[in-house]
Chain A
């Protein structure tokens, strides 16, 4: 009448708990910063300009600056598949170069794209080097930007561009466009709605995703007709899926990519700006763009965008 005692469940449960504890015991040694203190870009670090900058900003030397990043853009910043504890990409190298020039180390705080600005504004991280387009709206969130690249967007479509998309124009009417949450392309595409309706067409539908990979999957699955991101990123995806994906058009957007720092921290901001000038003048930025196959990367003179 009473159930007989079966020790099996207890044993299984005990085993499972033990396994969980064993796994949780091997704590992570997550740190992405490499060769701490040792300059990867020794030539740059040894340049007169950088030596002078370090003398001028002794408070930065020997510190560690935390980079808030959204590591979902191949070519710019992703984890290293061979060693996922490390990040790699153009922005990572650029950040290291700035660090070498100014004498600080870099570590990383990976957050959601929409959390990039709040994370620095709240002091959880020191700067953003994450392919972030410098806009006033974002600056309003409490950061200043130092620009370093111009923005060229590519439009990713399926092979043959079946919907005949020609840019951010009325060719988008009636299509579904996959976009990253919080990206500047979102309002641009949404702005086409009224124009489409004026022509008696249906406004484009915007599908928002957390990461570029999710957006690309939406194209591959036929859920979206187009995806817009940095042209180099788009090209990377096409290279990965040459039979399925294509680029429709390259669009020059009126934005620049910028490094975000805490609003009001002028010492750090101006030091980064000066380091960027040296990095561009020495040809290192172009070198890094080539290394990461960013063919369309056009230097932007480091200028400050600040609303503070």
Chain B
């Protein structure tokens, strides 16, 4: 035991720890930086870069670290690059760790819900901005445990640098064991040292996880507290919550004052110029032809309900309008702009498309809400205004609060999406889409992912918007009653083409085509 304690406190071994820490730091930081590049290269559209990165990953993941160490230490000098043992060890570790970090980063990016990216794109975020503000913050939280493990692995791998003369803990341990015959005492003491070091790394990992934990009450406290000071603490105007237990009804839309119904709005609503003009839209996924020549014209201020069975191409049509999906044929103009395409019809890169989306003023509401998971309700609305539209923090927060109040979500402004019901999330999603005052709002089955008792609150919000008038909306939906109540025009799609269109009265009340009749019958019986 005294021998053990002697070695545990031996300055010679403790100095070895300093080298172990330096190696670990070089391997960890260097590996992270290089890993970021490798991950980026693999995620880019440029094939050549991807292949270079893949080759590197294959090479370094496929060969033992010990060979890589010897390579950097003994082979590089033949090419005129002679590094000191410590630098050679650190470099070899970093080169090796980089591939593991790259894979961790890649899995972090790939693990982020594609809906988050779609939402960001629809809001007009450029790819770099989207990566920095949405994908990276979410991916990072997911990969902290893996990064912690890799840190520990780096520290343990640093022991292999003992064969290239880095006087780190393991080399000193082996030398001492060879010299003293106190074989076990020395190895036990070293094991305890490594355990303390890796234990400390684990604590760092846990601390980082805690610091990044969105549920930590202290996390947003200062900022939200300051924000709260700037507006009335009580009496924040909120709209009445809809009665969730009741089915949607034209007399109970749950949003305070009930304006006159759109369809019956006398005198008949007048619409402006054509805002959306789609000609012969075609879109395929592989052999599956989803859109087979769609023509659609929507005028400014018009509310169009897109009806049709699942798979009829409704969602794809909406996603083609703001170029979340590229077209295979035909064209679509939003306020005269072909989003996604240059003046000569060439497909633009995403960062230019992002600007077109902003300029055209197209908002989008998703079936799966796609609120940014890491942001509160207020931030979901306010942040894109700051990031994309350059609003000040105060203006954006004020606008967010105004819209959250409008959709009846003022009381959950500081809540994270995961703490809200689906209906609440969708209402925030609508507020977010409205924030920048879009000319057109595309709503992709906004209630399809909701439990039946939550549908009404969302439909109520959309009905409210329709009645206010002025906002052009295309709503893909299965809700016939809702379509009847809000839509100026109903477009029925089946098999990738527009089968029938007209007023709700015409299309739903008196369908002319068998496919429409079948759909209306099925939906009517389902809604009863």
Give me 15 A-to-B residue pairs in the complex whose CB atoms sit less than 8 angstroms apart, sorted by A's number.
A5-B218, A12-B203, A16-B203, A24-B18, A25-B18, A28-B16, A72-B178, A74-B178, A81-B180, A84-B175, A110-B175, A112-B163, A124-B165, A211-B177, A213-B181
B204 to chain A: closest residue by CB: A13
A241 to B181, CA, bound (A): 9
Contact B74 A118 (CB under 8 A): yes
Given A72-B174, A210-B174, answer yes or no on A80-B179 (Cβ-Cβ < 8 Å).
Answer: yes
A74 to B215, CA, bound (A): 59
Contact A5 B177 (CB under 8 A): no
Query: With an 8 A cutoff between CB atoms, is A198 at the interface?
Result: no
Contact B175 A10 (CB under 8 A): no
B167 to chain A: closest residue by CB: A30
Contact A119 B17 (CB under 8 A): no
B208 to chain A: closest residue by CB: A13
* Size category, A interface: 35 or more
Contact A119 B178 (CB under 8 A): no
Contact B82 A123 (CB under 8 A): yes
Contact B178 A110 (CB under 8 A): no
B168-199 vs A, CB cutoff 8 Å, 1 = contact: the mask equals 00011011111111010000000000000101
Contact B177 A119 (CB under 8 A): no
Query: With an 8 A cutoff between CB atoms, is B164 at the interface?
Result: yes
- Of A16, A68, A85, A212, which one neighbours B178 at CB under 8 angstroms? A212
Chain A positions 155-214 with a Cβ under 8 Å from a chain B Cβ: 210-213
Chain B positions 321-342 with a Cβ under 8 Å from a chain A Cβ: none
Q: Which residues of B contact A123 (CB under 8 A)?
A: 77, 82
Number of chain B residues close to chain A: CB under 8 A? 48
Q: Which of B7-15, B392-400, B405-413 makes up part of the contact surface?
A: B7-15
A239 to B214, CA, bound (A): 64
Binding site for A on B (CB under 8 A): 10, 12, 14-19, 21-22, 70, 73-78, 82, 85, 162-165, 167, 171-172, 174-181, 183, 197, 199-200, 203-204, 206-207, 210-211, 215-218
Q: Which residues of B contact A71 (CB under 8 A)?
A: 175, 178-179
Contact B18 A211 (CB under 8 A): no
Q: Which residues of B contact A80 (CB under 8 A)?
A: 179
Q: Which residues of B contact A115 (CB under 8 A)?
A: 70, 73-74, 163-165
Contact B175 A3 (CB under 8 A): no
A10 to B22, CA, bound (A): 23
A20 to B316, CA, bound (A): 56
A28 to B171, CA, bound (A): 14
Contact A119 B203 (CB under 8 A): no
B205 to chain A: closest residue by CB: A13
Contact B206 A23 (CB under 8 A): no
Contact B204 A17 (CB under 8 A): yes
What's the minimum C-beta distance from A171 to chain B, rounded to whole angstroms? 28
What's the minimum C-beta distance from A270 to chain B, rounded to whole angstroms? 24
Additional A-B contact list (7), CB under 8 Å, known A2-B217, A5-B217, A211-B174: A12-B203, A13-B207, A72-B174, A73-B178, A112-B164, A115-B70, A122-B77
Q: Which residues of A contact B162 (CB under 8 A)?
A: 112
- Of A3, A110, A210, which one neighbours B167 at CB under 8 angstroms? A110
Query: With an 8 A cutoff between CB atoms, is A109 at the interface?
Result: yes
Contact A122 B85 (CB under 8 A): no
Contact A118 B199 (CB under 8 A): no
Given A79-B175, A84-B176, answer yes or no on A119-B73 (Cβ-Cβ < 8 Å).
Answer: yes
- Of A24, A79, A213, which one neighbours B22 at CB under 8 angstroms? A24
A123 to B217, CA, bound (A): 59
Query: With an 8 A cutoff between CB atoms, is A140 at the interface?
Result: no
Contact A124 B179 (CB under 8 A): no
Q: Which residues of B contact A36 (CB under 8 A)?
A: none
Contact B210 A9 (CB under 8 A): yes
What's the minimum C-beta distance from B333 to chain A, rounded to whole angstroms? 49
Q: Which residues of B contact A290 (CB under 8 A)?
A: none
A110 to B19, CA, bound (A): 15
B199 to chain A: closest residue by CB: A16
What's the minimum C-beta distance from B27 to chain A, rounded to whole angstroms? 14
Query: With an 8 A cutoff between CB atoms, is A139 at the interface?
Result: no
A80 to B211, CA, bound (A): 47
Query: With an 8 A cutoff between CB atoms, is A14 at the interface?
Result: yes
Q: Which residues of A contact B210 (CB under 8 A)?
A: 9-10
What's the minimum C-beta distance from A274 to chain B, rounded to whole angstroms? 28
A25-40 vs B, CB cutoff 8 Å, 1 = contact: the mask equals 1111010000000000
